[in-house]
Amino acid sequence: MRVLVIGGTRFVGYLFTWRLLAQGHRVTLLHRGTMPDPFGDRVERLRGDRTGPEFARLLAGRDFDASVDFAAYSGEDGRQAAQVLAGRVGHHVHVSTGQVYLVRVPRPALAAREEDYEGPVMPRPAGGPDLAEWEYGMGKRACEDALAEAFERLRFPATRIRVPMVNGERDYFRRLETYLWRLLDGGPLLLPDGAPPRTRHVHGDEVARFLAGILGRPATFGRAFNLAQEETPSLPELIAKLRAIVGSRSELVPVAPDAVERAGLDPLALSPLSTPWMSFVDPTRARDELGFRHLPLEAYLGRIAASFLAHPPLAPPPGYELRQRELELAAALHA
């Protein structure tokens, strides 16, 4: 197949491109060119900002069997993709997010199913971290809506894939790595309150595998699919699994976010997953209709830990420089 990959050369898109090449597909990467990649002359590169006029110019006169968009964040991005690629791509896949459910009012009480997408959305927050999260979810909804409209109006063959928190060895946000640094120094690990009662994430390479497997499948056209692991541990249970994998004896210490802030610490810098903006999706449709089975949670956590131990970053993630304050707070909580 001739496959256009838009954006995404850092994490899942990087893994996806390797899979395409391994399967013998011809790959064209369209991105800004700010990140180096190891693909050499095995891929064609189109350099440009997909939000600008060069998107249409770079793709003029070209056609593809499939396109996968990792860099669409607004309704305009979705409309532009449909306008530029209509009639010139056999299948378009948009990588969306489970956050499209979190801006719903009310939020789904249980694991969000694809049909829970429809309904009213929450008003714009006044500011703070909630505003950025709301804007991200609303932008992705607008992009999905534009593609759904293009399918209904033009039969543009778009599929929308909704993923929750993506974990992986190449996570440049360094989320699980934040916990690994603390588990491996042996000191207590603070877990601020705020996370949903259960978690359901997805592994980056499993997303890449799923995407490569659905290209060109007409049964997915015009539809949305959630993609996630099956397991639903609480955040303490998830971190306890990671602790066991690396053999740490660190104590997991629950703490109120305001106590963390009074200590001069950022709750999300020491526990990135302690936030209510963690989507919890139901992957039944992808499992039952497309036959997708996610790698077991403990297996992928083991891969992430092994990669970290084999190739540790030269510097810890932001916030770790205040580790001594974390230890002092943990000691005060036990006093």
- What is the per-residue pLDDT for 8? 76
Is 35's pLDDT higher than 90? no
Band (pLDDT 50/70/90 cuts) for residue 36 is confident
Cβ 31 vs Cβ 96: under 8 Å: no
- What is the per-residue pLDDT for 274? 95
Q: What angle do CA 124, 126, 128 make, to 5 degrees?
A: 110
Average pLDDT over residues 5-12: 91
pLDDT tens digits for range 161-178: 999 999 999 999 999 999
Q: Is there a cis peptide before residue 318, judged by omega within 30 degrees of 0?
A: no
Is 335's pLDDT higher than 80? no
Is 107's pLDDT higher than 90? yes
Is 155's pLDDT higher than 80? yes
| Residues in a beta bridge with 44 | 28
Average pLDDT over residues 274-293: 97
Q: Which of 148, 162, 289 lies closest to 227, judged by CA?
A: 162
Higher per-residue confidence, 104 vs 9: 104
Average pLDDT over residues 95-111: 96
Average pLDDT over residues 252-268: 96
For residues 91 and 63, give the distance between their C-alpha atoms in angstroms, rounded to a whole number.
11
CB within 8 A of 207, min separation 6: which ones? 12, 15, 16, 95, 161, 163, 166, 227
Instruction: Tell me the domain boundaries of the chain.
Output: 2-334
Average pLDDT over residues 49-53: 90
pLDDT tens digits for range 120-134: 999 999 988 899 999
Q: Which fold has domain 2-334?
A: Rossmann fold (3.40.50)
**Kind of pairing, strands 92-97 and 166-167?**
unpaired
Average pLDDT over residues 208-228: 98
For residues 200 and 284, give the distance between their C-alpha atoms in angstroms, rounded to a whole number.
13
Cβ 226 vs Cβ 285: under 8 Å: yes
CB within 8 A of 332, min separation 6: which ones? none
Cβ 1 vs Cβ 216: under 8 Å: yes
- What is the per-residue pLDDT for 210? 98
Summary mean pLDDT of the chain = 96
Backbone angles phi, psi at 284, to 5 degrees: -60, -40
For residues 32 and 235, give the distance between their C-alpha atoms in angstroms, rounded to a whole number.
36
- What is the per-residue pLDDT for 92? 98
